[in-house]
Amino acid sequence: MAEDRLLDELESFCGRVDAKLSSVNSHECMSIGLLDGGADSNNSTPLLFKDFAPSDTAPVARVLLVGGIHGDEYSSVSILFKWLAMLEEDLGERFHWRVIPVLNPDGLLRPPRMSQRMNANGVDLNRNFPTPNWQEEAHEYWEKRTWKNKRRYPGPEALSEPETAWLVEQIESFQPHAVVSVHAPHGVVDFDGPRVPPRQLGPLELRLLGTYPGSMGRYIGIHKGIPLLTLELESAFGMPRRDEVYAIWYDMLGWLHEKIALPLKLAEESKLRAPVNELLRVGSDSDNEG
């Protein structure tokens, strides 16, 4: 019965995605084998994900890939389905990927030409994460800096929305070494957190946009200390060219290997080479916990 329910949910979800996005068809969506994440959106749409991990070796790092945070940024969902198909072809380069193609299904899957940035409650999910001092800062910023722009309403409190609460649970359970978030339409690479950012991914050049109270950048990159790549595609509605889709992906893989996987490997090798008394000393000092 549970399998039948999931199949019905997937068929409904994929049919609605097909009706909304010209670059993703229902068959392509169904073939990915998305899984129910155990939580629903405000409008009771399942929040779906898919894991990809190497079958013959330990993964070099864990990467969380998220699209569709803003429902009116169609390309941020479309490109993830292209990358999901590439991951199905084993082009994940020994990383363990967790892919969430649509974090905000209610914003995306509204009737034709009515998609919106916010979720069904009118909350900008990218201002709803529990950053330090959210209660003091988020509403003040919204009122005084955006003049109560409804597209950037942070919600009544941090994590008030099931979509953001679920993503925070995914971060806690999956423990990614890096997070990649896809948006549009600034046409740049943004970055928050530790590590050196890439100067360019495909046609997208680095330009730091800053963080905001309740944003993923401030929560994941600054507060949690997890490297966060934010890809801002050039158009919210039009897909990048096919060669650009591949260029962004492979440039991103190169950066992940150099700046995420390699430092993890070197740190592990250094730990293994350390004298026993040094390992014991580090292990007993709570201040050394990552």
pLDDT in the model for residue 92 = 84
Question: Can you tell me the mean pLDDT for 202-222?
Answer: 97
Q: What are phi and psi of 249, to 5 degrees?
A: -60, -50
SS3 of 53, please?
Answer: coil
State residue 282's pLDDT score: 44
- Indicate the burial class of 26 (C-beta count within 10 angstroms; 0-12, 13-18, 19 or more): middle
Q: Which of 121, 122, 141 has the alpha carbon at shortest distance from 131?
A: 141
Of 122-126, 147-151, 187-191, 282-286, which gets the smallest average pLDDT?
A: 282-286
The region of weakest confidence among 67-81, 138-152, 202-216, 257-271 is 257-271
pLDDT of residue 290: 35
- Strand partners for 178: 63
What does the pLDDT read at residue 113?
A: 78
Confidence of residue 280 (pLDDT cuts 50, 70, 90): very low
Name which residue leads in pLDDT, 290 or 236. Answer: 236
The DSSP secondary-structure symbol of 160 reads: -
d(CA 7, CA 187): 36
Tell whether the model's pLDDT for residue 276 goes beyond 60: no
pLDDT over threshold 50, residue 256:
yes
Structure tokens at 46: 């399942």
pLDDT at 91: 86
| Residue 9: other Cβ atoms inside 10 A | 17
**DSSP code of 254?**
H
d(CA 256, CA 161): 30
pLDDT category, 286, cuts 50, 70, 90? very low
Q: How confident is the model at residue 4 (pLDDT cuts 50, 70, 90)?
A: confident
Cβ atoms of 181 and 77 within 8 Å: the answer is: no
Specify the 3-state DSSP secondary structure of 50.
Answer: strand
pTM over 0.85: yes
Give CA–CA dist 149/152, Å, rounded: 6
Q: For residues 111-124, give the mean pLDDT.
A: 93
Arithmetic mean of pLDDT over the chain: 92
Residue 199 has pLDDT above 90, yes or no: yes
Cβ neighbour number for residue 76 with a 10 Å cutoff? 28
Instruction: Sketch out the chain's domains with CATH numbers.
Output: 40-288 (3.40.630.10)
With a pLDDT cut of 90, the percent of the chain lying above it is 84
Say how far apart CA 18 and CA 259 lie, in whole Å. Answer: 36
pLDDT tens-digit map of 10-45:
999 999 999 999 999 999 999 999 999 999 999 999
Predicted confidence band of residue 166 (pLDDT cuts 50, 70, 90): very high
Lowest mean pLDDT among 4-8, 78-82, 251-255: 4-8
Average pLDDT in the 37-66 region? Answer: 95
